[in-house]
Amino acid sequence: MQKVARFHKVSYERFLYDWMDSFGDSKETIKEIYDNIKLPKRATKGSAGYDFFAPVQIELKPNETIKIPTGIRVEILEDWVLKLYPRSGLGFKYRLQLNNTVGIIDSDYYYSDNEGHIFAKITNDSNENRTVNINAGEGFMQGIFIQYGITLDDEVTELRNGGFGSTTK
């Protein structure tokens, strides 16, 4: 296996700002959440996906959505991308979905002003009236590294500074 990336936590200041934007909470609570963030990891030697762990207890009733600052950023080799998906068991049991269907984390996102902070916006799209409960520290999303190519006539020189559609602004 080729080693192509390294996960890091974003700075506490970045996490504090993003968590306050999503949820509020006291600074003491946010510091405790930050301190307990686990870096993504594979569950087994044969796992393709790196599990992302919920920073807090999450309950999503049918058709509810939540935006989760994960506290994670990733340093990736230039010709690789991290693709994010819900954990397959959660998708199968609850139709848990990422709102952008597949999250794409480009290698240059790491250097953005927001430190490349990875968010997950998830929806319980259950048509069986089932509530999703995810415990703090439980895997809820998985990331898979994929190598990609570019066209022979590609001459892009622009640099990214942002996320969520920033390359088309």
> What does each of the 169 residues of the chain score in pLDDT, given as a tens digit?
899 999 999 999 999 999 999 998 899 999 999 999 999 999 999 999 999 999 999 999 999 999 999 999 999 999 999 999 999 888 888 889 999 889 999 999 999 999 999 999 999 988 889 999 999 999 999 999 999 999 999 998 887 776 655 555 5
Nearest to 59 by CA among 119, 103, 124, 120: 124
pLDDT value, residue 169 = 52
pLDDT value, residue 94 = 85
**Rounded CA gap, 108 and 105, in Å?**
8
Residues 12 and 34: beta-carbon distance below 8 Å? yes
pLDDT value, residue 146 = 97
pLDDT value, residue 127 = 83
Packing angle, helices 12-22 and 27-35, rounded to 10: 120
pLDDT value, residue 124 = 93
pLDDT value, residue 27 = 92
pLDDT value, residue 52 = 98
**Rounded CA gap, 111 and 40, in Å?**
19
Nearest to 118 by CA among 27, 5, 14, 4: 14
